[in-house]
Amino acid sequence: MSQFQPPDALPPQAGEALPDLSWTEWLDGWEEDDLERSQPPGTQAGSSEGKPGPQSIFSKRSGIQDPLIRPDNRAEARNENDASAEAWAKEGAASRESSLSMPSGPPVASASELADQLTERTPHPGKGGARAVKPKRHLERARRRQKNYLEERRDKKRQRVLFQRVRVILKLCLAVALCFVLWQVVRSPLWLLDQPRFTLSDAHLIQPQQIAPWVQRQVDRPIYVIDTGKMAHKIEKNFDIVNRVVVRRQLFPSRLSITVQEMQPWAEIYAVDPSPRKAVRENEPTDATHMAPVRPQPKPYALLVPDAIISLRPYHYQPEIYARHPLEKIILQPRTVFSKAYLTQLQSLVWQARHIEGLHLQSVDVRHPKRVIFNFEELPVMLGQLNGSAEERLARLVHLIPKIQEFREDMESVDLQWEEQVTFHQKPYAKLDLPKPEQTQG
């Protein structure tokens, strides 16, 4: 029988060499093919440069090799499988020798059956085969490492939770401390307006005694609670002369700063003529014994602003207040109402009359709206009604200044109320030496 003949072709004969049933080259070839298929492209079957096998979540996080997953090093698994296969082959050879030496023993199994048994009992490390089992001490070591990792992880988690709770407690304590400090600051007496302290600036007619009642209402209140805008609005509404009021809060000590901006008047309003003109005759005595008693100087009862009439009843008026900008004198009956357009035109005409060279304006009489009189120091001028031609009629006065200065002593007034003529009123006692007309012969 040839040595290449299959072992199961003929039964073994007495005295012949038994075939080697531990032949495992086919198993090695199978393992190498399986390893080549499991390696990524570009790497060899026996190299350790391949990618690692699948791992559990615990193995990925902790870096510890999971004992329930087969190792990535297939060469070590194959060596262990080879060693186990050799051990099983030796045990099979020993059993076969003992069976051949006993003639009355059971029938000898065929080589194919022995190969099938060897194949079934040999663990296969490839895909679909049995997994390699590590020794018990390796498993215990892995479990201890896993247990230590989990305990360390639990300790870290406990510390993290503890630190979070400590931070929350510290934040609560800080919030309570801030609330307490804020409450003390809010209730501090430094904020209270214990006295009606205030400063009044830029006010001419309004006196501090008039503002004190408004500030007295805010006493014993925190200064940050006072509505400054509402207070300023009430002051503006109560005083007609006020154009704008600004109220500010100030500390150390707590007080209010009130800035009042008043309207700028341009004229004073009198009920009678403040500078009456007295006619002195030539034959009338002028000694002190026969002179009439001096009347007291009349006081204005209102001020005239560009678009309104402001009563002086609630104010303490002094003429020296507007000494830098002297006010014009207007004669007007009380409770007289004019439109804004009329007051604006009157202001313009008074300004023009004030700047006529050679004449000095003293007052303007508007008690009769259709007969407005400009009282100059030299003589009065009747302008008439304030209409569209009033400025043109007033401009004629500039050309009459030489005549007014020439006949000043004998002229009583100048009438400009007519649009096409100018009238000179002569004094009743005046004697003018007019030139006599030339006599003609025949």
Tens-digit pLDDT string for the chain (442 aa): 444 455 445 555 666 665 555 545 444 554 555 555 555 544 444 444 444 555 666 666 666 655 555 555 555 556 666 676 677 677 766 766 665 554 444 555 555 554 455 444 445 454 455 555 668 888 888 889 999 999 999 999 999 999 999 999 999 999 999 999 999 888 888 888 888 888 888 888 888 888 898 899 888 888 888 999 999 999 999 998 998 999 999 888 888 999 999 898 999 999 988 877 655 444 445 444 445 556 677 889 999 998 889 998 888 888 888 888 889 999 998 888 888 899 999 999 999 999 998 889 999 999 988 899 999 998 899 998 898 899 999 998 898 888 888 888 888 889 998 888 888 888 876 665 545 555 555 4
Residues 202 and 252 in one domain: yes
Assess if residue 8 is contained within a domain.
no
Residues 129 and 146 in one domain: no
Assess if residue 434 is contained within a domain.
no
Can you give the CATH number for the domain in which 379 is found? 3.40.50.11690
Assess if residue 281 is contained within a domain.
no
Assess if residue 279 is contained within a domain.
no
| Residues spanned by the domain of 71 | 25-40+52-100+107-133
pLDDT at 87: 76
Residues 334 and 406 in one domain: yes
Could you tell me if 390 and 350 are in contact, meaning their C-beta atoms sit under 8 angstroms apart? no
- Residues 167 and 295: their CA atoms lie apart, in Å, by 90
Assess if residue 168 is contained within a domain.
yes
Residues 204 and 95 in one domain: no
Residues 83 and 127 in one domain: yes
- Count of structural domains within the chain: 4
Residues 377 and 307 in one domain: yes
Residues 178 and 220 in one domain: no
Cα→Cα distances 323→112, 150, 299, Å: 141, 96, 16
Can you give the CATH number for the domain in which 206 is found? 3.10.20.310
Residues 408 and 303 in one domain: yes
Last residue of a domain, one of 206, 237, 262: 262
Residues 145 and 216 in one domain: no
Assess if residue 361 is contained within a domain.
yes
Tokens of 122: 């040999």
Residues 399 and 306 in one domain: yes
Assess if residue 420 is contained within a domain.
yes
Q: How are strands ordered across the β-sheet holding 411-415?
A: 308-311, 302-305, 267-270, 328-331, 361-365, 372-376, 380-384, 411-415, 423-426
Assess if residue 81 is contained within a domain.
yes
Tokens of 189: 């007496």
Its pTM stands at: 0.54
Residues 161 and 57 in one domain: no
Q: Which of 301, 304, 296 shows the shortest CA–CA distance to 317? A: 301
Tokens of 217: 């209402």
Residues 167 and 245 in one domain: no
